[in-house]
């Protein structure tokens, strides 16, 4: 009887470390990320439910705002995501720009979304023949890719105010000032309170290993600095959980819209 009790006591003593190890493994599987981001298709919400205009009436058309979702799941969830044929897996070092935390990345994405909304509002009002204005002090550099021609020349925090002799306020201004056939452009950059010229190479169409030319060849992620707007009506966006430059209606609305035209109702 005494031996049986001793065996039971020994088994209990061994069971405790095993339970502790099991608990740690489960914690790691369901709580600890592995440094891999999973990108999957997001929602497709009607824009009419996300945008409201003072005094405006709901439209009869149907335009959807499509998004993508990104997460850094723990190991167990990551394993489940491998069953999704639409999922794309990106290492953290390739998802987050070098030297930036997730909090900084999300804050920059929020600013980019606000800029997208402002430019979309500006384009829509101008298309309708309404007075509208949007201004900025320059173009703030958020990150520079290692493969870009601006790597080692520009750094996060720089504010581009001109390209050659042309002022730069928005990304479109910078793109329009670059040589179409490649070459070099001298950027006026504010850095630590001082302006300085920075010559940057621009890849020609089809040149380079990446195949990127023009603005893309610079490898810059930017957002307009000190954005200011003046609109005749209030426009509100409800997509509070959506962020990033391509999340707003900006890609489908030109920054410089065509002159307003009169539309006849269809019979």
pLDDT at 155: 93
d(CA 126, CA 220): 29
Q: What is the DSSP letter of 266?
A: P
Handedness of CA 135, 136, 138, 139 (dihedral sign): negative
- The Cβ of residue 157 has, within 10 Å, a number of other Cβ atoms equal to 11
Q: What is the b/e burial string over 228-258, where b = at least 16 CB atoms within 10 angstroms of the residue's CB?
A: ebebeeebebebeebbbbebbbbeebebeee
pLDDT at 265: 38
d(CA 262, CA 257): 14
pLDDT at 68: 81
Q: What is the pTM of this model?
A: 0.71
Report mean pLDDT in 10-residue bins for the chain, 267 residues: 50 53 56 82 78 77 77 84 89 80 84 88 90 93 89 94 94 88 92 94 68 76 92 83 56 40 38
pLDDT at 187: 96
Q: Helix, strand, or coil here: 80?
A: helix
pLDDT at 223: 92
d(CA 54, CA 184): 46
Quick one: tokens of 66? 């499509």
Give the mean pLDDT of the chain. Answer: 78
Domains observed in the chain: 137-226 (2.30.42.10)
How many degrees, rounded to 5, is the angle at CA 253 between CA 103 and CA 123? 95
């Amino acid at each position: 009887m005494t031996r049986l009790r001793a065996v039971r006591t020994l088994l209990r003593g061994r069971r405790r470390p095993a339970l502790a190890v099991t608990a740690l493994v489960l914690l790691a599987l369901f709580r600890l990320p592995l440094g891999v981001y999973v990108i999957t298709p997001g929602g497709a919400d009607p824009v009419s439910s996300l945008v409201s205009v003072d005094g405006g009436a709901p439209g009869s058309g149907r335009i959807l705002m499509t998004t993508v979702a990104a997460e850094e799941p723990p190991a167990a969830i990551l394993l489940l995501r491998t069953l999704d044929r639409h999922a794309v897996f990106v290492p953290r070092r390739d998802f987050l720009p070098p030297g930036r935390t997730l909090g900084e990345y999300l804050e920059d994405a929020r600013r980019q979304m606000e800029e997208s909304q402002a430019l979309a509002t500006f384009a829509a009002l101008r298309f309708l023949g309404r007075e509208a204005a949007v201004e900025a002090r320059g173009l703030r550099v958020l990150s520079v890719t290692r493969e870009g021609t601006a790597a080692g020349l520009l750094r996060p925090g720089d504010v581009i105010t001109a390209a050659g002799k042309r002022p730069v306020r928005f990304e479109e201004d910078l793109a329009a000032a670059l040589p179409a056939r490649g070459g070099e452009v001298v950027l006026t950059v504010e850095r630590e309170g001082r302006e300085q010229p920075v010559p940057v190479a621009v890849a020609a169409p089809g040149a380079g290993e990446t195949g990127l030319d023009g603005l893309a060849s610079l490898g810059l992620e930017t957002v307009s600095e000190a954005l200011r707007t003046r609109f005749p009506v209030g426009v509100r966006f409800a997509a509070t959980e959506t962020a990033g430059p391509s999340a707003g209606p900006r890609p489908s609305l030109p920054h410089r819209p065509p002159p307003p035209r009169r539309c006849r109702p269809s019979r």
